[in-house]
Chains A and B, each alone.
Chain A
Amino acid sequence: MADDTNIGGGGGRFPPTRWSAVLAARSDDPAERTRALDLLIGAYWKPVYKYIRIRWNKPSEEAKDLTQEFFTRVIEKGFLDRYDPAKSRLRTFMRVCVDGMVANEAKAASRLKRGGDAVHLSLDFASAETELGRAGPALREIASPDSTEDFFEKEWVRSLFSLAVESLRTECEGRGKQLHFRLFEIYDLDDSGASRASYDDLAREFGITVTDVTNHLAFARREFRRIALEKLREMCASEDEFRREARAILGVDPA
């Protein structure tokens, strides 16, 4: 499947010395700053677009403009300099800023007057629209302010996991472990069939043993977890924020 945006997808990791994209986005080094913003925008643009569409009930074209406007501010106006990790999580900060921008109709209108030098991000809004269409009736449940916050969080997790899955795919292909990824894709990601394949089904289909299926899936899940946590760490400004976010996102629901 092709990348739906040239922002964030497949980007390299940050050097261990500067693992936080949030911190790197404030760097004086233009290259590092650009890479950090690519990563953050790659993870956030879909949640932001969908949020504007649903929470603010904006038509597609207007939501596209507002999304562009929002990330232009992020890039051009040192927007993240205002972020204080001690006060809130980054995704909460992002959501509140989106609300502030959209609510301010006068400023929102000015986006139409931006000149030819304005940054224009290549974002695949069509895919975001398709995803909104797939969500279908569930979106009608998003009515209260509380549920819009949940909606943004849910879309943010979906975006983070999607990026991690794509990185896992790239990594598996690079290491000759396409079968590992294929099994992971069928067993953990695919909902298209009427019922989920069993380990026995997969073993028969690919001509391997059930133990191989178990081990390959264990590998893919372990790598997925590692990549997802790495990406999450890059999107947090502190170790404390990372731990809180990781627990919120990978939290256990005791039976």
Chain B
Amino acid sequence: MSWLSDEAVARLRHSANEPDLSGTPYRFAGALGRGGMGAVFLVEDSRLARRVAMKVLDLPDRSGDLEARLLREARVLAQIEHPGIVPVHDVGSLADGRVFYTMKYVEGRRLDEWAGSAASLAERLRLFEKICEPVAFAHSRGVLHRDLKPPNVMVGPFGEVLVMDWGVAKIIRATTGAQVASTQFPDAAAPPSASDSKSGAGDTAHGSVLGTPGFMAPEQARGEVAQLDSRADIYSLGAILKFLAAPAAGEKTPRRLAAIITKAMAQDAQSRYASAQELASDVAGYLDGLPIIAYPEGFFGRAGRLIARNRAAVVLVLAYLVMRIVLILWRPR
């Protein structure tokens, strides 16, 4: 039997894991990472001389479930075209039978890495508003993400936000007009039809738990798949907001901001925000010192917020009043 050196074993591990791109217009350029059901590689599309990310099932799929899920993810992405959602370019199968799709290669940092940099709380909250936009759009197209968390959000070099990894997304309301690009090489998988998505092919069975603890809504953690709606994603957004708003040691989260987080992450889904826009609007309101849904105010609360928001003007008025009083009291008789 052949003796394999450590180097040879390492090379075999590496080459066995690489996607077999023979017969495709793609050239291998590196490994990017691994998701729940597949690996993501950097490849160069020789037709357009551009780099794209290729997601490939990492193992043969006897049941066909994972293959259906990967194709479904590609279809979902194709249906929700938005600047904040990574666009799909191509879908097909490799010479070794593994299914793949290609998507825009996003050069940026994961949200959890980005947040560790010197961004101020206000910058982090403004970025959070951007995360809500594609999620709200997906909801408007009847798609739930179901695995929103910092590692699934990329922050681009221009501060743009891309919500990634729609592998466990759930279609709660089918939309029309889905178009998925077909491959131009032999052995390509047939382009999936929109009707497949309407039938819910590859959808998750009731009782299945998909998601990430800490970022998953309670009803999702209980496997109540049939009951899930956009409020499950609202919970996850709340968890992301909590992550971004985490105070430094010795500090406390401002009360109004804490109220937003509490409302977004309410145990009872009905008590959460009705939409991602509503949540984003409350965060914007907090930043601008405006009234927010999550924190009803009485007279004194409102007065305090107005004073805090207009501190310079209030100081000037008070100074003026004090001067007037002083002048009145000291007027020569």
Contact = CB atoms under 8 A, between A and B. Distances in A.
Interface stretch (A61-69, A107-115, A154-162, A172-180): A154-162
A211 to B, nearest CB: 10
A251 B33 CA distance: 10
Contacts of A12: none
Nearest to B94: A222
Contacts of B58: 246-247, 250, 252
B30 interface: yes
A229 B59 contact: yes
A191 B5 contact: yes
Interface string B102-113: 000000000000
Contacts of A81: none
Nearest to B11: A188
Interface in A191-207: 191
Interface string A230-255: 00000000010011001101111111
Nearest to B34: A252
B22 interface: yes
B196 to A, nearest CB: 24
A40 interface: no
Q: How large is the interface on A (under 10, 10 to 19, 20 to 34, 35 or more residues)?
A: 35 or more
Contact of A224 (B3, B16, B33, B34): B16
A252 B22 CA distance: 20
Interface residues of B, number: 31
B4 interface: yes
Contacts of A126: none
Nearest to A188: B11
Given A1-B2, A165-B2, A254-B31, A218 B8 contact: no
B31 A253 contact: yes
A3 B1 contact: yes
Nearest to B15: A221
B7 interface: yes
Nearest to A187: B11
A251 B2 contact: no
Given A165-B4, A224-B12, A252 B95 contact: no
Given A239-B62, A250-B58, 18 more contacts: A138-B6, A154-B6, A157-B13, A165-B12, A188-B8, A188-B12, A189-B2, A189-B11, A191-B7, A191-B8, A222-B22, A225-B15, A229-B59, A247-B34, A250-B13, A251-B13, A252-B34, A254-B31
Interface of A: 1, 3-5, 9, 127, 130-131, 134, 138, 154, 157-158, 161-163, 165-166, 169, 185, 188-191, 214-215, 218-219, 221-222, 224-226, 228-229, 239, 242-243, 246-247, 249-255
21 contacts: A134-B5, A158-B4, A162-B2, A165-B2, A185-B2, A188-B11, A189-B4, A189-B12, A221-B15, A224-B12, A225-B96, A226-B96, A246-B58, A246-B59, A250-B13, A250-B17, A251-B34, A252-B31, A252-B58, A254-B32, A254-B34
